[in-house]
Structure 1
Amino acid sequence: MKVEQIYTGCIAHAAYYLEDQGEAAIFDPLREVQPYIDKANEDNANIKYVFETHFHADFVSGHLDLAKKTGAKIIYGPTAKPGFDALIAEDNQEFKVGRYTIKVIHTPGHTMESTTYLLVDENSKEHGIITGDTLFIGDVGRPDLAQHVIEDLTEEKLAGHLFDSLRNKIMPLSDDLIVYPNHGAGSACGKMMSQETTDTLGHQKETNYALRADMSKDEFIKELLDGLTAPPGYFPKNVLMNIQGYDSIDQVIERGQQPLNADAFEAAANETKALILDTREAEVFKDGFIPNSINIGLDNNFAQWVGELIPDIKQPILLVTDPGKEEESIIRLARVGYDHSIGYLKDGIDTWKNAQKELDQVKRIDVNGLEDFLADDGAKIIDVRKRSEYESQHVVGAENIPLNEINKHLAELPDTKFAIHCQGGYRSMIAASILKQRGFDNFVDVRGGFDKILEDDIKVTDYVCPSTLL
C-alpha cells in the first residue's frame, strides 16, 4: 500500500498521502496545500478525497483550499457539523481510492467527531490506521480541548468516551497494523508523545500507558487528566476556523507580501497599531531591532510561541525577517490562524539602519560572566523555562516565571538588576523582547541558557542544583 507520511517538525504535525491507480487522498492537510497537489501531479493522480480526523485545534487545516483547487470531497466522521459542504460519514462506511479501501471508525474522546481511518490494501489486507488525535505513539489525545468550544463536553466525559473508543474500536484490531498519528513529540495535543511518528499497534498495546489491558475506566481518566497543562489560548480559535471556514491561503499571502520602506513601515505601525514581529534568530536580533518589536525566531517552535503570546489571532502584524524569509513567515503564521500580516520591512533590518532610525538592543552575557553578575548585591536570576523543567533542575536562588506566563507576572520582576535564561537561549530572547517592549532595561540575557550553565568549563556548579529542589 502506498501511504506517505508528510511530517512538519516545527508544529509536530503529520499529514498523509494515499495514492493508487490515478486516485489520491489527503488526510489532515496543512494550510498550504500546493505541495499535496504537486505530489499528486507527479503521480498523475487526481485528489479524490480530503479526510479529516477531527476539527483541529493546534493548526488550521487546508481542507477548504484543497477541495476548491482539486474538486476533492471533504470527509468528516459522524457527528461533525461543519459550516461548509462536506460529506459526514457513518461509522463503518467505506470509501475507495483506486483499489484501496478507507473504512471509517468513529472514535470519540479527543473530540466527539474524532474518527480513525482503517486502511485496507488491494488484497483486502488491513494495513494501518490513521488515528488523528485519538492515539499517538506513547500517548493519546487530550480530552480537555472541546470544552473550550462546547461547555457541556467536560474533560471527564470526553476521557470516558476515549476509554471506550480505545477499548472497543482500536485495541481489538490486529497487532501488525501500523499506527499513523496526527502528531509527534512537541505537540500540545498530548503530554508525553514519543519522538517516533509511527509504530505497530501491537507494540503500542505493550508500551502505551493508555492501552494497558488491566486499566479500569476510572484509572484511565485519572491518569489521562493528571498533569495536563492549560492548552494554548489560540486552540479554540483554530477549532472555530476549521469548523466555520477561513480565507484562502493565497489571499493571506498576497495581503502579507507588501514590501515597505522604513518610512512606510513606521507609518503603518503607528496608524494600524500593528504588532511588529521580528522572526530573526536571537543572536542577530539582540544586536539591533526596531523598538517595541517582539522576537519569535522562525527557526524554532515559532507557531507554538506565536499562539501562546499573541492573544488575538486577528492582530495586524508587521514583519521583520531575514531577506527571503517573508513568505515563509506569513505561511507559518497562517498555519495557526494568524492571517493578518499586512506587510514586511523590505530588505530586512538593514533598511531601518540605512534610514538612520532608532534601534534597540538586548545585552547578552556568557556563562563565564554570570558568576560575577550574580555576585553583585541584589542581583537576581529569572528562569523562563516551563515549571516542570525548573522543578527538575535549576540554578540555586533562581525564580521561575515561565515564558507563557510572563505578561501576568511583570509586577513580580525585581527592581534591581537581573539575568534571564531558558534552556538554550531561544525562549529567553522572546522574554527579553517582551520586557523591552514593557519598558524594562535592568536585565541581561544568558547566552546558551541552562545548557551552557551545565556544560561550560567555567565553574558555576555553586549555582546549580542537579537533583534537589531549592
Structure 2
Amino acid sequence: MQIKQWEDKNLSHFSYGILSDCEKKIVLVDPARNPEPYLNWAKENDAEIIAIIETHPHADFVSSHLELGKTTGATIYVHSMVGVSYPHTPFDEGTTIELGKIKLTSLHTPGHSPDSISILLEHDGKQKAVFTGDTLFIGDCGRPDLREGAGNIQSKREDLAKQMYHSLRKKLMALDDDVLVYPAHGAGSLCGKNLSKENSSTIGKEKQTNWCLQDASEEEFVKNLLTDQPFIPHYFPFDVELNRKGAPAFRESISEVMRTEKNDAPEPPKGVLI
C-alpha cells in the first residue's frame, strides 16, 4: 500500500492518492484543479484510478473530480447531502470501498459543512489513517461559517459549530491514537484560523496539542470556534456551487482566458491627485 500526498502551496491544499500495490488500483481524495499529477502518478505505477472521493464541496479551490471521472471512468463518491447531479455513488456513513486488504469507510463528520465526511483507512483490519477533509486540521478544525448562503443544504454557523464539537469527539477522537491524520489544508488556508505548518499528525498527538480536542463544554467550544475566524473571500460561495455541479475540464477552462500582448494592452486610467 502507498499513500501519496500532493501539496498546492499557493492554496495550502493537500490531496491524496491511495494505491493498492497488489490490485494496481488507486483511490483519490480531494483532487486539485489540474488532473495531470494524478494521471501521471497512475501511469508511473501502471495503475488504474477507480474511485475519486470528495470530502465536501470545497470553497477555496476548484476540484478536478468530474474531469478525472470522465477521463478515467472512475466512480465519484460524495455524501448524498451534497446534492450533485453528475453520475456518482453516495458515500454516506458506514459506506465502504475495498481494494484488496485496504478498506475505506465514510464517517459523516458535519461541522465545517453539513455534508462533510472523513475517510477511515484500514489495512488488513487495522486502523491506519484518516483523511479528515476540512473537519480536523493539524492544530485546528474547520471553520463553520461558510455555508450560511451556499451549498445544497445551508446552515447557521452556530449550528455547524455544535455539530463540529460532536463530530470531533464522537467520530475522530474515538479512533486509535496511532491513526495518521491527513487533512485537506495546512498553514495559510482560510478554511481555519490556526492551522499548523505540519502536513500530517496522529490522533494521539492532536488529542494532546490541538485546542479543538481539549476538554471543554459545547458552549465553550462554540464560542472559541466562532471567535477570530479570518475573512470570507467573495468567491467562496461560487466555488462551493461550482464544485457541487462539477467544473469544466482544466485545459478547456484556461484556454478561454483572454490573453493580451503587452503592446496591445489598453492605457491604464489616469489618476487624479486630490
Equivalent residues of 2:79, 2:115 under 8 A apart: yes
Q: How does 1:29-428 map to 2 (within 5 A)?
A: 29-121=31-123, 123-149=124-150, 153-212=155-214, 214-255=215-256, 341-345=257-261, 349=262, 352=263
**Hey, what's the Cα distance between the residues in 2 that align with 1:28 and 1:238?**
14
Q: In structure 1, what is the Cα distance between the partners aligned to 2:175 and 2:95?
A: 17
Q: Within 2, Cα distance between the matches of 1:222 and 1:83?
A: 36
CA distance in 2, matches of 1:99, 1:344: 53
Q: Following TM superposition, by how much is the alpha carbon of 1:251 offset from its aligned partner in structure 2, in angstroms? A: 1.2
* Consecutive unaligned residues in structure 2, runs of 5 or more: none
- What corresponds to 1:11 in structure 2? 11
Structure 1: any 5+ residue segments left out of the alignment?
Answer: 256-340, 361-436, 443-470
Partner of 2:141, secondary structure, is: coil
- SS at 2:132 equivalent: strand
Instruction: State the AA in 2 paired with 1:129.
Output: V
Output the CA distance in 2 between the equivalents of 1:104 and 1:240: 22
What letter is aligned with 1:439?
A: G
Distance in 1, matches of 2:28 and 2:270, equals: 44
Q: Which has the higher contact order (CA 8 A, sep 6+)?
A: 2
- One-letter amino acid matched to 1:253: I
Q: Is the Cα–Cα contact under 8 Å of residues 19 and 98 in structure 1 kept in the other structure?
A: no
Q: Secondary structure in 1 aligned to 2:10?
A: helix
Q: 1:441 to 1:358 in 2, by over 3 A?
A: farther
Q: Judge conservation of contact 2:132–2:182 (CA < 8 Å) in 1.
A: yes
Task: Render the CA deviation track for 1:419-465: whole Å, top value 9, x for unaligned.
Answer: xxxxxxxxxxxxxxxxxx582568xxxxxxxxxxxxxxxxxxxxxxx
Shift of the 441–219 alpha-carbon distance from structure 1 to 2, 3 Å rule, reads same
Distance change (3 Å), C-alpha of 1:358 and 1:183: closer
Q: Is 2:63–2:247's contact at 8 Å kept on the other side of the alignment?
A: no
- Tell me, yes or no, if the aligned pair for 2:28 and 2:51 is still in contact at 8 Å: yes
Deviations 1:291-350 (A, max 9, x none): xxxxxxxxxxxxxxxxxxxxxxxxxxxxxxxxxxxxxxxxxxxxxxxxxx12242xxx4x
Distance between the aligned counterparts of 2:94 and 2:248, measured in 1? 33
1:254 offset after TM fit, Å? 2.6
AA of the residue aligned to 2:75: K
Shift, 1:100, TM fit = 1.1
| Cα-to-partner distance string for 1:203-246 (whole Å, 9 max, x where unaligned) | 1111111100x211001100000112331000000001011233
Query: How many equivalent pairs are there?
Result: 271
- Could you tell me how far apart the structure 2 residues matched to 1:67 and 1:187 are? 26
Q: Quote how far apart the aligned CAs of 1:152 are.
A: 5.1
- Name the CA distance, whole Å, in 2 between partners of 1:441 and 1:64: 50
User: Take 2:24 and 2:11, find their aligned partners in 1: how far apart are those partners?
Assistant: 30
Shift of 1:359: 7.0
Deviates more, 1:18-27 or 1:240-249: 240-249
Cα gap change, 1:71 to 1:205, in 2 (>3 Å): same
Secondary structure of the structure 2 residue equivalent to 1:163: helix
CA deviations 1:401-421 (Å, max 9, x no partner) are xxxxxxxxxxxxxxxxxxxxx
Deviation at 1:252, TM superposition (A): 1.3
Residue 409 of structure 1: aligned partner:
none
Structure 1 residues 152 and 254, CA gap change in structure 2 (3 angstroms):
closer
Contact between 2:61 and 2:239, CA under 8 Å: does it hold in 1? Answer: yes
Q: Is the 8 A contact 1:48 1:97 kept in 2?
A: no
Question: Does the 8 Å CA contact 1:80/1:88 hold for their aligned counterparts?
Answer: no
Aligned to 2:85, what secondary structure does the other structure show?
coil
Instruction: Label 1:219 to 1:35 Cα distance change in 2 as closer, same or farther (>3 A).
Output: same
User: What one-letter code is carried by the residue in structure 2 that aligns with 1:10?
Assistant: N
Aligned partners of 1:17, 1:178: CA distance in 2, in Å? 15
Q: Which residue of 1 aligns with 2:271?
A: 439
Deviation of 1:164 (Å): 0.8
Question: Which one-letter code corresponds to 1:342 in the other structure?
Answer: M
- Please give the alpha-carbon distance, in whole angstroms, between the structure 2 residues aligned to 1:15 and 1:438: 44
Q: Pick the structure with more helix per residue.
A: 1
